[in-house]
Structure 1
Amino acid sequence: METIAAQNADVVSSIGAQLQQLASQEQITILYACESGSRAWGFPSPDSDYDVRFIYLRPLEWYLSIEDRPDTIDLPIDSLLDINGWDLRKALKLFKGSNSAIYEWIQSPIVYRADGNLPHKLLELAQQYYAPRAGIHHYLNMATNCYRESLQTDTVKLKKYFYALRPILAAKSIVTYQTFPPMVFNDLLSLISDRPDILAEIDRLLTIKSTANEATTIAPIPLFNDFIRTEIEHCEAAVKLIPKHETDGAAIDRLFRKLVLTQA
């Protein structure tokens, strides 16, 4: 029987081949490609798909047109691969606006392709551009929606607890440190080092999830529901005290021009 490691190696090879083919067909440079979902967060199931996200660059002439042009590329989604990317201009605009997805991408522990040093350059600019207030609202919305829509039933999909715990801990991290939160779930757990009961239950569920499929359900866990609800209330109160973040785009524009001009 093929091992999980061998299966993963085959998938990673397929991802690399598809990115290479895409770059050739679209005449783009893929500056960065990474894993963005549960495999990067640190709690995949054996049948979790691969959420591949990438940032790409067109030739200079593409950016010198008065026409509005597509700024995303999406490959057909199947049961294993979900691959899509953003044009560099779109990615940098969203970075300036504190889009949480791109701040996660540049921290991803699973990198499929890197041309140049884009994630490191963006990490250097992150403190200048990241808006804690916007980040808290993003993760609060994720946690609140999951809590209300998925955790109030007689049976709960196991993965939904992680889809609520990770964002509420991310929001808690921003409240605590006033900067963008770690992407990896385990890196957020130090925030609740004073809650061994929560940590023990998380560890138990991680063990189950590592061998269970995506559809696995469990009985509701009152300990988690109470914790998530309390933290949502705490973050909702805290975010009101955080001022809005204002900055200009000069540094982002310089990075954009530098990268685009390399295509001249």
Structure 2
Amino acid sequence: MQKSYDFGWLERQVDEHPYPIFFAVLSGAHMYGFPSGDSDYDVRGAHVLPLEDVVGLRARRDTVDVMHDLEGRELDVVTHDLKKFIELLLNKNAMVLEQVFSPHLIEGGDAFDELKEIAGDCITRHHAHHYLGFARSRWEGFEESRRLKALLYAYRGCFSGIHLMRTGEVETDLTTLAAKYNRPDLLDLIEAKQAGTEKMQLDPSSIDKHRDYVLELIERLEKEHEASELRETPEADAKERLHDLLVRVRLQAR
């Protein structure tokens, strides 16, 4: 699979991972379309534990979280063993679903392409619960901090959820979503965030306007969930296909 950018230094950090990487993507504000100049880098993905660690008595590292310092900015690399990642995917975890469909690929291959194809058959209407919780928590965070970043996260959760319920497509970039849903005012907020800092705050005079609209979007997402024609559970053969993929990858990694 072709990689989407040329951050060679980011690839080198992933290469230092203690286990073989199954796939890795750039997540966080970069995936959401509004990184500022001082944004940290969030790398997410899956690794493959050696077969000996899986069947033996050694302590398993199902999740690896490694923090790097890059000239004052953090690079947070979090990966799950492929089995755990697949289990999260089957349990309607929208965070791992978004990682599979992130446009910012650092590492991946043919087996990852296969995972991505199967992941499309794991999308259900119940992924709306993640987006509702995400939007509500980020709005609460904004009410406390007044930070533009928190507000954009709330909008992103609402529109990503609404778009998924309507179309079955995973879209995490708020710039793209703002254009799709005719919200040019959000583009102005995104530009302000990109030109500013992670901690910049919103003009207090516009808070009430955004409160009304975010709460309206949360209500709309609830209705989209109720009306969605997406499947209730993953496709019947998705689990078996993922099982076969996991076994092949595990045995090849010996």
| Residue 33 (structure 2) aligned to one of 31, 35, 42 | 42
For 1:203 and 1:128, the matched residues in 2 are separated by: 32
Q: Which amino acid aligns with 2:178?
A: L
Tell me whether 1:146 sits opposite 2:138 in the alignment.
yes
Q: Which amino acid aligns with 2:138?
A: C
C-alpha RMSD over aligned residues: 2.4
Superposition pairs for residues 46-85 of structure 1, below 5 Å?
A: 46-65=37-56, 69-76=60-67, 78=69, 79-85=73-79
Instruction: Give how far 1:191 is off.
Output: 4.4
Superposition pairs for residues 18-29 of structure 1, below 5 Å?
A: 18-22=13-17, 26=18, 28-29=19-20
SS in 1 for 2:121: helix
For 2:171 and 2:224, the matched residues in 1 are separated by: 19
Q: Any conservation in 2 of the 1:32–1:118 contact (CA below 8 Å)?
A: no
Q: Which amino acid aligns with 1:231?
A: L
Q: Any conservation in 2 of the 1:142–1:164 contact (CA below 8 Å)?
A: yes
Report which of the two structures shows the higher radius of gyration computed on alpha carbons. Answer: 1
Tell me whether 1:206 sits opposite 2:190 in the alignment.
yes
For 1:200 and 1:238, the matched residues in 2 are separated by: 22
| Residue 113 (structure 1) aligned to one of 107, 117, 122 | 107
Paired residues, number = 241
Q: Any conservation in 2 of the 1:173–1:191 contact (CA below 8 Å)?
A: no
- Equivalence for 2:87: 93
Percent identity reads 25
Superposition pairs for residues 1-264 of structure 1, below 5 Å?
A: 12-22=7-17, 26=18, 28-65=19-56, 69-76=60-67, 78=69, 79-114=73-108, 116-133=109-126, 135-151=127-143, 156-177=146-167, 179-193=168-182, 199-220=183-204, 221=206, 222-240=208-226, 244-245=232-233, 247=236, 249-264=239-254
SS in 2 for 1:207: helix
Q: Which amino acid aligns with 2:89?
A: F
For 1:123 and 1:17, the matched residues in 2 are separated by: 24
Instruction: Give how far 1:240 is off.
Output: 4.0
Alpha-carbon deviations, 1:100-148, whole Å to 9, x = none? 122111222222222x224421221123222221x11101111112223
Counterparts in 2 of 1:110 and 1:189: CA distance versus 1, 3 Å: same
Question: Structure 1: which 5+ runs fail to align?
Answer: 1-7, 194-198
Q: Any conservation in 1 of the 2:21–2:46 contact (CA below 8 Å)?
A: yes
For 2:119 and 2:179, the matched residues in 1 are separated by: 22
Taking structure 1 as the reference length, the TM-score comes to: 0.81
For 1:21 and 1:68, the matched residues in 2 are separated by: 20
Taking structure 2 as the reference length, the TM-score comes to: 0.84
Instruction: Give how far 1:68 is off.
Output: 6.2
Instruction: Give how far 1:66 is off.
Output: 6.3
Greater shift, 138-147 or 199-208, is seen at 199-208
Q: Which amino acid aligns with 1:237?
A: K
